[in-house]
Amino acid sequence: MGLILILAEKPSQAKSYAEAFSKAKKRDGYFEIEDSLFNGKAVVTWGFGHLVSLEEPAAYKPEWKKWKLASLPMIPDSFRFTVPYDKRKQFGIVKRLLQSASQIVVATDSDREVIDSCEYV
């Protein structure tokens, strides 16, 4: 059995989840979980805010740096994504854990956002 990854919305939510299991050990960016509920290794990790954002309009076209009514709507040919500098470390942790997971439990706030795809990770 491979790694079971539980993805929480934010650190406080991940901490609450981890405390619900028999044993949780804090690591850098995640908790290792030991509990009879799991047949293998389990971890809880988190995002905070948006780990991935859309590029700013000026990254597509310099003339989009200042918004003008005449240039609306600003719709690029294809959307590009970026990881804000202050979130790169946690993004790397989540990415590594997602890539090594055999099962992923999305335990984020489902009433706010929908995960359409993980292809960007």
Asked if pLDDT for residue 120 goes beyond 50, the answer is no
* Residue 5, both tokens: 């990854």
Q: What is the mean pLDDT of residues 50-67?
A: 92
Q: Give the model's pLDDT for residue 20.
A: 96
Residue 10 has pLDDT above 70, yes or no: yes
Contacts of 22 (CB under 8 A, 6+ apart): 34, 35, 36
- pLDDT value of position 1: 62
Q: Write down the pLDDT at residue 98.
A: 95
Q: CA angle, 17 as apex, 11 and 19 as ends, to 5°?
A: 100
pLDDT value at residue 117: 45
Q: What is the CATH number of domain 3-50+87-107?
A: 3.40.50.140
pLDDT tens digits, 26-56: 999 999 999 999 988 999 999 987 899 999 9
In this structure, the strands spanning 3-8 and 101-107 are parallel
Per-position b or e across 65-85, b if 16+ CB within 10 A of its CB: eeeeeeeeeeeeeeeeeebee
Condensed to tens digits (0 to 9), the pLDDT of residues 80-119 reads 999 999 999 999 999 999 999 999 999 987 655 544 444 4
